[in-house]
Amino acid sequence: MTLRRFALLLCLMLPVTLAGCASETPAEHAANLYAQQELDAAPRHGNIPDYSLPPDKLAKSQHLAKVEITLHFLEVAWGILQLALLLWLGIAAWIRDKAVHPAKGLREHGKRFRAFWIECFLFTLLFTLISEVLDLPLSLYGHHLSLEYGLSIQSWASWLGDQGKDLALGLIGGLFGYALLMFIIRCLPRTWWVVLWAALAPIIIFLIYLWPLVIDPLYNKFEPLQQTQPALVAQLEKVVEKGHMNIPPERMFLMKASAKTTQLNAYVTGFGSSKRVVVWDTSIQKFTPDEVLMVFGHESGHYVLGHVLRGILLIFFGLFFLLLLAFFFMRTAIARFGPAWRIPAQTDWAALVVLLFVVSICTAVVEPVRNALSRQQEHAADVYGEEAIHGLVADPREVTRGAFDILGINSLVDPNPSPFIEFWTYNHPAVGRRAAFGKAYDPWAPGAAPKYFKK
């Protein structure tokens, strides 16, 4: 397949993927139109009627937004630039030399399997440590920023402990990931990308299944929600019953987020029997019971609407094209710049840095597409959540608007961000847009109809 044919196929398939999430009911369209008009009428980065901050917090949110956006693009650019520097300064080849040299004697004596693993371990260790050191300044500043603005209360010792866990998991994942990748490349130099894509499918599903059971508990404490919030669980079960869902109390968890952060959140995670809804304790502390009900309705919407499965399918879809692009561009880059980088072929350990370089560029380019798909799913969950609490709270529209108002104020969210920034970097709709939509959305009005529930 030529790159021209690949590009044509991508252009044909991407609109189909986007269109699958784009249908609107008349009530939804009217509420979206109202939200957009409210944002358009307000000053850029200023308050809007349905989500306003006091003057002192508005100024802080505006400054924080500028710093966070700058930091985001700086992290993306630095991630690409550091890989380019590792290649052009010969550091990638130096890492390869340091990894290969100790195993030279083993290869000469026919112990290639043992030599392979020694090379992989040393390459992974050196490359991961160098990458962590290069990323550390921006990571340190990011945590400093969260502490300065009161978004985090995590001590530096605790934060460094989490960074150590990240490093350990990165080393373990890198060791097996790089070993698998290099083994496939060396065995199938022309078709490794499609074989790797097929091999990654069960691995990704297994990791999604395992994540809430093994990885999440390394960083935070979890407990069954009914253990401390039985009255709340009884209310949440009404949302479950109304949506005909299979979310027993055993799949509702409370995360002790308040030990590290002041921010509010809830999410759906896992796959199959590990699938669960998680509510942060900070959300329960700062939201009213009705607002918690709405937040749960939103998260159960992800559950009912199959967003986890769709997310997995989109990951597989994106990986196919990402690996195909990486295959073409890695071969081209090594053919053109390999002598300068001292990387002779894609079967060389240092070629993995070339692959990561290509992947980092592709990931940066497709960021707005990935975020657009995420925003569509989050909007669908907002619609589902507001419909799910109809009849369970006195005024679902005001509850929804109030929940987003508290969420924004607590996290110092810019009420009216730049359309470009929202398009490129937001994986949720802007909080002001969500608050305005929630206030205006009324599918039970005469002549209207709800999207996910019978009237």
The separation between CA 377 and the C-alpha centre of its own chain, rounded to angstroms, equals 13
In what helix (H) or strand (E) does residue 269 lie, and over which residues does it extend?
strand 266-269
Beginning with the edge strand found earlier in the chain, give each strand of the sheet holding 252-255 in spatial order. 222-224, 252-255, 276-280, 266-269
Q: Are 420 and 414 in contact (CB under 8 A)?
A: no
Q: What are phi and psi of 209, to 5 degrees?
A: -65, -40
In what helix (H) or strand (E) does residue 193 lie, and over which residues does it extend?
helix 192-210
The 10s digit of each residue's pLDDT in 102-120 is: 877 777 667 788 899 999 9
Query: Furthest-apart CA pair in the chain: how many Å?
Result: 83
Question: With a cut of 70, which residues of the chain have pLDDT below it?
Answer: 1-22, 108-109
Return the C-alpha torsion angle 17, 420, 42, 34, nearest 10. Answer: -10
Quick one: pLDDT at residue 109?
Answer: 67
Q: Are 161 and 216 in contact (CB under 8 A)?
A: no
Q: Which residues contact 255 (CB under 8 A, 6 or more apart)?
A: 220, 221, 222, 278, 279, 280, 281
In what helix (H) or strand (E) does residue 203 lie, and over which residues does it extend?
helix 192-210
How many whole angstroms separate alpha carbon 301 and alpha carbon 388? 9
- DSSP state for residue 254 in the 8-state scheme: E
CB-neighbour burial class of residue 156 (10 A; exposed 0-12, middle 13-18, buried 19+): exposed
Strands 252-255 and 276-280: parallel
Nearest C-alpha neighbor of 310 from the set 383, 377, 211, 388: 377
The separation between CA 183 and the C-alpha centre of its own chain, rounded to angstroms, equals 29
DSSP of 9-31: HHHHHHHHHHHTT----HHHHHH
The 10s digit of each residue's pLDDT in 4-56 is: 443 334 443 444 444 444 578 999 999 999 999 999 999 888 899 999 999 99
Q: Which residues contact 122 (CB under 8 A, 6 or more apart)?
A: 98, 99, 102, 103
Query: 0.75 cut: is pTM over it?
Result: yes
The 10s digit of each residue's pLDDT in 9-21 is: 444 344 444 444 4
As a whole-number percent, the residues of the chain with pLDDT over 90 amount to: 84
